[in-house]
Amino acid sequence: DQQVKQNSPSLSVQEGRISILNCDYTNSMFDYFLWYKKYPAEGPTFLISISSIKDKNEDGRFTVFLNKSAKHLSLHIVPSQPGDSAVYFCAATRSIYNQGGKLIFGQGTELSVKP
Amino acid sequence: SAVISQKPSRDICQRGTSLTIQCQVDSQVTMMFWYRQQPGQSLTLIATANQGSEATYESGFVIDKFPISRPNLTFSTLTVSNMSPEDSSIYLCSVPGRGPLGLHEQYFGPGTRLTVT
Residue-wise pLDDT for A52-94, tens only, equals: 999 999 999 999 999 999 999 999 999 999 999 999 999 998 8
DSSP state of B58: P
- Chain A residues inside the 8 Å CB shell of B90: none
Q: Give pLDDT tens digits for A40-55.
A: 889 999 999 998 999 9
Percent of chain B with pLDDT over 90: 78
DSSP state of B111: -
Amino acid A85: pLDDT: 97
With an 8 Å Cβ cutoff, the interface of chain A facing chain B consists of: 2, 4, 32, 34, 36, 41-46, 49, 89, 91, 93, 95, 97-103, 105-108
Q: Does residue B44 surpass a pLDDT of 80?
A: yes
Q: Give pLDDT tens digits for B56-96.
A: 999 999 999 999 999 999 999 999 999 999 999 999 999 98
Whether A46 and B97 lie within 8 Å, measured CB to CB: yes
Model confidence at B22, in pLDDT bands (50, 70, 90)?
very high
Whether B40 and A107 lie within 8 Å, measured CB to CB: yes
Q: Does residue B32 surpass a pLDDT of 70?
A: yes
- Of A27-41, A88-102, B50-64, which range is least confident? A88-102
**Torsion angle, CA of A90/A96/A99/A101, rounded to 10 degrees?**
-20
Model confidence at B5, in pLDDT bands (50, 70, 90)?
very high
Cα–Cα distances in angstroms (integers) from residue B36 to residues A33, A63, A80, A95, B2, in the given order: 20, 28, 30, 22, 20
Residue A57, Cβ density class (10 Å: 0-12 exposed, 13-18 middle, ≥19 buried): middle
Residues 6+ apart with CB under 8 A from A21: A6, A8, A11, A35, A74, A75, A77, A88, A90, A109, A111
Amino acid B1: pLDDT: 72
